């Protein structure tokens, strides 16, 4: 199986806990929920968004690159999942728990893509693979394998457009938020 361990999930949980402690410290120290446009909310939003961009871009690039020696696919997918969990979590802490208008829609799309990713990881790991992600003969029967492949293809046709919609709306949010909330202050 390509993803033999849950290592990336444990890393994401650990780093998530660390970020939670820092966030809690800021809340206790300032005695308020960090506003999305103030320094802490801003920094965590930007860092989280950079991680999300890396999630969107790096794995796809590696998957399509001819430089097949550039790290194992399994490691890239684990990194994809790690940044795909930690980035959205940081962005969630950026929102200051208000979800108005477009920014609220961007948050919803972010939640949807993470949930979709979790489903995708589940289907993906059903199919026996090498560490480089190539399908191999395994424990699945012919029919079960065909079903898992079809499900994976269907999942791709849903997951990828959601990601695109997410980044389109995120860029509009960022442009608008920076323009109105930061530059015009
Ligand atoms: C996918 C990534 C992001 C999501 C889901 C997101 C979501 C949100 C949400 C829900 C709010 C609160 C809106 C409200 O008050 O109802 C907000 C505010 C804000 N966001 Fe983001 N954000 C993201 C990325 C960013 C980035 C990267 C930046 C900066 C470069 C940014 C800048 C801001 C600013 C300045 C505000 C405050 C706007 C105001 O005070 O009116 N956001 N964001
Ligand atoms: C910011 C969040 C995320 C974004 C933007 C994102 C985006 C993408 C994109 C664009 C692909 C297609 C790659 C390709 O075929 O070229 C993909 C594949 C995948 N993602 Fe994510 N993803 C995110 C989070 C997650 C999470 C949290 C998980 C798992 C818990 C996950 C699991 C997967 C899996 C299993 C694949 C399929 C790999 C393959 O078929 O080769 N993703 N993701």
What are the pLDDT digits (tens) for 155-181?
999 999 999 999 999 999 999 988 887
pLDDT given for residue 2 in this prediction: 56
- Report the candidate in 41, 39, 73 with the shortest Cα–Cα distance to residue 59: 73
What is the domain partition of the chain in residue ranges?
7-183
> What is the reported pTM?
0.94
Instruction: Give the integer Cα–Cα distance in Å for 116 and 31.
Output: 35
Residues with Cβ < 8 Å from 149, sequence gap 6 or more? 127, 135
Closest-CA residue, ligand 1 atom 17, reads: 95
Q: Looking at the CA of residue 106, tell me the nearest atom of ligand 1.
A: 5
| Residues 56-67 pLDDT 10s | 999 999 888 876
Ligand 2 lined by 113 (C-beta under 6 Å):
yes
Residues with Cβ < 8 Å from 50, sequence gap 6 or more? 87
pLDDT given for residue 1 in this prediction: 45
pLDDT given for residue 168 in this prediction: 97
Q: How far is CA 43 from CA 8, 101, 108, 163, in A?
A: 24, 21, 21, 22
Ligand 1 — pocket residues by CB below 6 A? 36-37, 45-46, 49, 52, 91, 94-96, 98-100, 103-104, 106-107, 110, 170, 173-174, 177-178, 181-182
How many A from CA of 140 to the centre of ligand 2? Answer: 23
Is the confidence at residue 91, as pLDDT, over 70? Answer: yes
- Report the candidate in 165, 79, 77 with the shortest Cα–Cα distance to residue 129: 77
Q: Which of 4-13, 86-95, 128-137 has the lowest mean pLDDT?
A: 128-137
How many A from CA of 110 to the centre of ligand 2? Answer: 12
Ligand 2, residues 52, 81, 94: which to mutate, most atoms within 8 A of Cβ?
A: 81
How many A from CA of 101 to the centre of ligand 2? Answer: 26
| Residues 101-159 pLDDT 10s | 999 999 999 999 999 999 999 999 888 888 888 888 777 788 988 998 999 999 999 99
């Amino acid at each position: 199986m390509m993803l033999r361990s849950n290592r990336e999930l444990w890393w994401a949980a650990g780093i998530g806990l660390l970020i939670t402690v820092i966030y809690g410290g800021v809340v206790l120290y300032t005695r308020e929920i960090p506003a999305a446009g103030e320094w802490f909310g801003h920094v965590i939003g930007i860092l989280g968004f950079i991680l999300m961009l890396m999630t969107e871009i790096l794995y796809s690039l590696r998957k399509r690159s001819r430089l097949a020696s550039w790290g194992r696919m399994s490691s890239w997918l684990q990194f994809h999942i790690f940044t795909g969990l930690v980035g959205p979590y940081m962005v969630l802490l950026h929102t200051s728990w208000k979800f108005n208008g477009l920014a609220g829609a961007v948050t919803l799309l972010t939640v949807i893509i993470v949930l979709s990713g979790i489903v995708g990881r589940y289907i993906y790991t059903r199919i026996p693979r090498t560490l480089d992600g190539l399908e191999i003969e395994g424990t699945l029967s012919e029919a079960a394998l065909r079903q898992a492949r079809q499900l994976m293809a269907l999942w791709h046709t849903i997951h990828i457009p959601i990601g695109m919609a997410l980044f389109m709306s995120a860029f509009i949010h960022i442009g608008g938020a920076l323009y109105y909330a930061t530059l015009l202050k």
